[in-house]
Structure 1
Amino acid sequence: MELRTVSQVSRDYGISARMLRYYEQMGLLESQRKGGYAYRVYDEKNITRLRQIIILRKLRIPVKHIISILSNADAARTVELFRRNINELDKEITALSTVKSILTRFVEEINEKADVKLQLLGDETLFSMVGALSFSNNQIKEIKENVSMDELNKASETLDKLLDKDVRIMYLPPMTVAACLASGEGCEEKANGAINKFVTDTGLTKIKPDLRQFGFDASKEFQGTGVPSQAYEAWISIPDDMEVPAPLIKRTFRGGMYAAHVLRAWDFQDWVLLREWVNASGKFDNAWGEPRWTPDETGSGQGFEEQLNYWVNAKNGFKMEDMQLDLLFPIRAK
């Protein structure tokens, strides 16, 4: 039976080590340690399960539904969940079809009237056109019985692409942080674990209730999307005069502008989509690598992953299933 390491699985299936760990914590996957292997490994049973998860996620099935589907042998329950997701898709399709039909009728009406000034949009016919639209409950007219993985991937890319409405522009103010750098397998867990312990030991949530938590890949070189980090640094904002115990150190963050996007379903491919949005922006320049904190031996100016609800998570025991992350990409105005 072939065993594959986390790195191999991440590379072969293009998903991050953190996503694999998330699936494990949600009870969908199980890794193990075997004699002769320095790292955690997955057996063929779990690789098969991962393939199932990937397909279901590309079909836009929520993780909570996947848990029920894969842990329940009841076909009726699975059909019920699939139908629930089909109903949600029908609503989206109906809404998009409505918008498409209105725009199509606008084009036809404008072409017929040669309405260069678009007076149509202020005309009563606008409402009559909208009112005349009618749609069936199910907009799916045809179902392709054989959909290839390439087609599924293309559909997923189209649906997941970031639009302007998906990205917020924000300014992170200057702050002092306690930082922990960890390396090797599980470096994200090590760094975040040390920060969480520091917060608990010092009662920081009471001292600084507006605290903010950040983390970033501190690998010396880009590892590639889906490849586990070789080093990771976690931060927590602290009062300027607060002392921190080793191995934590203090850093001074000078502030800066960021393009922000909430991580969807722990899919770290969103980093790639956010970078593409920034690079295509007509208002902002990519500022990755711009010096923004001191000391900067861990690569000042990278993107952050911020826990949006850290204060609540700290109160509830730092449960991964309760975490919500914001991806923050450094930018500057053109």
Structure 2
Amino acid sequence: MPDLLKIKEVSSRYDVTARTLRYYEDMGLINSQRSDDYAYRMYDESSIKRLEQVLILRKLNISIKDIQRIFRSSSSEIVLEVLGKKVSDIDDEVALLHELKKIVLEFIMQIHRSDFQKDSDVKLLYEKAKEVERQIINVGYEGNPARVNSLLNITEKLKKAPEVRIVEIPKCRMASSGYFNDLSEVIGSFGKWFSEYDKKRKGISFSPLDFMFFEPDGRGMWLFAVEDWVTEKDTDGYEIIEFEGGLYANAVSIDGDDDINGRVYTGIKAWIDSSGFELDEREGHRAMCHMIVGEKMNRGLGYKQLDIFVPVKLRPVKE
């Protein structure tokens, strides 16, 4: 192993995106180094070992918050506590799923005994379906709403793929941050500029207006749609590019959790494979994300939503 590995090499070796590596670093889980003559992040042996620990814990579905607690502790007590709690959670989930399975099997038996041609049986099944819904809500309730939420979370996680829709983003002019190696390079300056521009905007007929994408080598770009009257004199010197637009497969994820974002992205691609579309990713035309901003939404949900847009095109019709 060389003394230092480039971010692209680490990304390829461990099958983790450059964005995820940056996220782990922002969360204080790993460290990187920079040299005066090289702009990209580099990782030494100790950082690689720490990354391996992070990846193992994430495979066990340990939260970023708990991983931070583990790394802040010098003893094994915290990791044993976290893993013990995980075992307990799994036991609860298994028990709830067994109960859910029992309820569903009872409903299946009821369907087998019924005749969909008879009005009386259809009515009976409707009443039974309402009973199943009541049972699911009350599974393991015992005065503890957290157990209901746990069951709902489990059934949500069992979904095979995210809810995907196809949207069309029109061809338009976009102000570009230019390529950056680290979001901190532009988040203050470019973000401040388009916040000021947004106050002057006269109206664009589509939303959202800003997007971010990353190339495989880790370079990112932030884009903001601008109106025809805007010139580079109005953008504080940021380049205006012609955005080609097109069709995108879109689903909602959680901002700040790149593990979930990766799963949503993978789920979208799996959906594309079984649809009438095909992936249309290429240089400068990558999957994009948009953070959905709203204080009330964030407070109500407990997290920030992230829209993920994956470029697609119609699959050629075979003769």
Question: TM bucket by the smaller chain?
Answer: 0.5 to 0.7
Which of 259, 262, 268 is the aligned partner of 2:250? 259
Q: Are 2:66 and 1:65 aligned?
A: yes
Q: Distance in 2 between matches of 1:37 and 1:254?
A: 33
Q: 1:25 and 2:34 equivalent?
A: no
Q: Structure 1 residue 11 and structure 2 residue 12: aligned?
A: yes
8 Å CA contact 2:7, 2:41 repeated in 1: yes
Give the aligned partner of residue 241 of structure 1: 229
Alignment of 1:101-250 (within 5 A): 101-111=102-112, 113=113, 115=115, 119=122, 121-123=125-127, 127=131, 162-164=160-162, 166-172=163-169, 176-182=173-179, 186=181, 195-196=190-191, 198-199=193-194, 203-208=196-201, 212-217=209-214, 223=216, 228-229=217-218, 231-244=219-232, 245-250=236-241
Aligned residue for 2:191, secondary structure, equals: helix
Aligned to 2:149: none
Greater relative contact order: 1 or 2 (C-alpha under 8 angstroms, separation 6 or more)? 1
Residues 211 and 136 of structure 1, relative CA distance in 2, 3 Å threshold: closer
- Supply the distance in 1 between the matched residues of 2:106 and 2:133 (Cα, whole angstroms): 8
Secondary structure of 2:221's aligned partner: strand
Tell me, in whole angstroms, the C-alpha distance in 1 between the residues paired with 2:41 and 2:172. 37
Q: CA deviation at 1:330?
A: 3.2
Q: Which amino acid aligns with 1:121?
A: L
For residues 304 and 105 of structure 1, do their structure 2 counterparts lie closer, same or farther at Cα, with a shift above 3 Å needed?
same
Deviation at 1:67, TM superposition (A): 0.6
For structure 1, which segment, 258-267 or 46-55, has the greater mean C-alpha deviation from structure 2 after superposition? 258-267
Deviations 1:40-76 (A, max 9, x none): 3222222111111111111111111111111113544
- Structure 1 pair 126–191 and aligned structure 2 pair: CA distance change class (3 A): closer
**Larger CA deviation: 173-182 vs 4-13:** 173-182
Structure 1 unaligned regions, length at least 5: 138-158, 291-297, 313-321
TM-score (norm 2): 0.67
User: Following the alignment from structure 1 to structure 2, what is the Cα–Cα distance between the partners of residues 206 and 180?
Assistant: 19
- Of 277, 280, 283, the residue aligned with 2:274 is 280
- Change beyond 3 A, Cα 1:280–1:168: same
* Matching residue of 2:54: 53
Mark the CA change 1:254 to 1:162 in structure 2 (over 3 Å): closer, same or farther.
Answer: same
Q: What code does the residue aligned with 1:261 have?
A: V
What percent identity do the matched residue pairs reach? Answer: 26
SS in 2 for 1:41: strand
- Gaps in structure 2 of 5+ consecutive residues: 143-156, 296-302
The residue aligned with 1:319 is: none
Secondary structure in 2 aligned to 1:40? strand
Shift in Å at residue 193 of structure 1? 6.4
- The answer to whether structure 1 residue 303 and structure 2 residue 287 are counterparts is yes
Q: Deviations over 1:71-130 (max 9, x none)?
A: 11354444443344445444543443333222222333444x364657452355973997
State the 1:206 CA deviation: 3.1
Cα separation, partners in 2 of 1:235 and 1:51, compared to 1, 3 Å: same
In structure 2, the partner of 1:148 is none
Task: Count how many residue pairs are aligned between Structure 1 and Structure 2.
Answer: 278
1:288-322 deviation line (CA, Å, top 9, x unaligned): 269xxxxxxx645x43222223x88xxxxxxxxx9
- The CA RMSD measured in Å over matched residues stands at 4.2
Structure 1 residue 35: Cα displacement:
8.8
CA positional deviation for 1:18: 1.4
Does the residue aligned with 1:327 lie in a helix, a strand or coil?
strand
The one-letter code of the counterpart of 2:194 is V
| Cα pair distance change 1:199/1:101, threshold 3 Å | same
* 1:217-254 superposed Cα distances (whole Å, 9 cap, x missing partner): 4x5xxx5xxxx34x543201234312224451243565
